[in-house]
A and B are shown apart, each in its own frame.
Chain A
C-alpha cells in the first residue's frame, strides 16, 4: 500500500509549511547569528523520533538494522549539502515546501536537486557514489561501538531536548507578535495560527515515527527520506520504469501537494519569481544538494532527523559537516545590501 506514503507526505508537507520548519535556517543561524532556537527544535524532533523508533523496534514492529559508517562520504557529502542548501535557500524538504508555496526559485532548486540526485544514484556517477560510500568503519552507531542499550542514548537526548525547550521558553523578553486573527476554531488553528517551533518538532517526530512501519509494510524498510525518492521519481519520469515508484516517491509527491494545500488554505500561496541572481544561486544550490545528499546518504531529513534518531554516526557526522558547510556559505554570501540599509524615509504609510 504505497498510497500511505502519499498520505504521510500530504500531512508532512502541510505541517512543514504551517510550522515554517526550516533546517537550513536552523544550521545557518548557529554560525550566522548564534541563534540556537530552531536547532534546539530539531534536537526535540530527533529525541521524539528516537523514542518512537526504539519503542517500535523493542516491540518488534520494525527492525532497525546495524549499518557500517561511511565516514568519508558523510564528511564530504555533508559539507557539500550544507553549503548548497544555503545557496538554494532551503534544505531538501524546505525546497519542496517552498516550491508548494509558489516560490519559483525553489522550483529551479527542486528540479536540479532531483536531477542531480538521479545522476549520482542511478546515472553515470552512481559508481563514484557507491565507491566513496564503500569507505567505511565498522560499528556505525553509538550503541554498536559502546555495547550499551540504545535507551541510554534515548534518555540522554530526551533530557537535552527538555532542557533546551525550557531554556528557549524562558528566553523571550516580550510575547511574540502574531497576526490579527480572521478565522476561528480549527480553521484558525490549522490555516492561520502561528505554530510554536517546538510543538511543530514534536508533531514531525511523531509523523516520522509512524512513517517507518507504514513504509516497511510496503517492503521499504526505512523511514522518512527525500533524496533517494527524488532520484527515483526522476528516474521514473525519464525511463517509465514503474519499479522505481515506491513508498518514498509517494511521500515526496505528497509533501509537495500538502505544502501547496497548506499555503493555499492559509492565503500564503503566490507565484513569486526571483531576480536573476537568485535563480542562478538556486540552480547551483540544487545541483550541490543533489550531489551532496547522494554522497552523504541523505539530506537534512534522512541524515539529520532519521539517522541521528538511531544514533548512527552517519547522521551525526554528516549533520556536523552540514552545519560547517552552511556556516561557510552563510558567512561568504549573506550580507546586508548597503543600498537597502539607506532606504528612503517615509513619515507615514498605510497598507
Chain B
C-alpha cells in the first residue's frame, strides 16, 4: 500500500515531523510518498530513513525547489 503525504508549504522540521507521524500508522512493507518543498528536508528525510533502516524506493526532484521521496516501512 502507498500513502501520500503532502507537505508543500511547510518549513522544516514539519515535513519530517509529519512523515514520522504518518509512518506510525503504516504496516511493514507499506510505502510513504512524501512530497515536500523545504530544502533542508532533502537532508533530514533521507537521513531519518537511513538511521531507521527504511529503504528509499524513489527520490527525485519535481520542479525547482520541490521534491518527492518514497520511504518503505521495514
A residues contacting B by CB (< 8 A) are: 17, 20, 22, 25, 28-29, 32, 37, 89, 98, 101-103, 105, 171-180, 194, 197, 263, 267-270, 272, 274-275, 278, 334-337, 340-349, 351
Contacts and interface: CB of A to CB of B under 8 A. Distances in A.
A208 to B, nearest CB: 21
B12 A89 contact: yes
Contacts of A22: 12, 40
A89 B43 contact: no
A67 B3 CA distance: 56
Interface in B34-60: 35, 37, 39-40, 42-44, 46-47, 49-56, 59-60
Contact of B63 (A172, A270, A344): A270
Contacts of B65: 101-102, 263, 267-270, 272
Interface string B19-37: 0111001000000010101
A272 B42 contact: no
Nearest to B70: A349
B8 to A, nearest CB: 8
Nearest to B44: A25
Contact of A341 (B13, B25, B64): B25
A274 B61 contact: no
B18 A176 contact: no
A32 B69 CA distance: 23
A105 B11 contact: yes
A89 B15 CA distance: 13
B49 A334 contact: no
A295 to B, nearest CB: 26
Instruction: Using C-beta atoms within 8 Å of the partner chain, give the interface range for chain B.
Output: 35 or more
B9 A267 contact: no
B20 to A, nearest CB: 7
> B-side binding surface: helix, strand, loop or mixed?
mixed
Contact of A32 (B3, B4, B13, B61): B13
Given A102-B65, A197-B43, A336-B21, 7 more contacts: A105-B11, A173-B51, A177-B49, A179-B61, A267-B61, A267-B64, A268-B64
Contacts of A176: 46-47, 49-50
A340 B17 CA distance: 11
Contact of A179 (B20, B25, B42): B42
Contacts of B43: 20, 194, 197
Contact of A334 (B14, B22, B46, B59): B14
B18 to A, nearest CB: 5
Contacts of A340: 5, 7, 18, 21-22
B9 to A, nearest CB: 6
Contact of B46 (A178, A278, A337): A178
Given A20-B43, A174-B50, A177-B69, A345 B12 contact: no
Contacts of A178: 46, 59
Contact of A101 (B39, B54, B63, B68): B39
A22 B47 CA distance: 15
B13 to A, nearest CB: 6
A25 B70 CA distance: 23
Contact of A174 (B9, B20, B55): B55
A197 B63 CA distance: 25
B9 A272 contact: yes
Contacts of A342: 25
A345 B7 CA distance: 15
A251 B67 CA distance: 31
21 contacts: A20-B40, A25-B12, A29-B13, A172-B51, A174-B53, A174-B54, A176-B47, A176-B49, A176-B50, A177-B50, A179-B60, A179-B67, A180-B60, A267-B61, A270-B64, A274-B9, A336-B17, A336-B20, A343-B6, A343-B22, A345-B1
Contact of B50 (A102, A175, A180, A263): A175
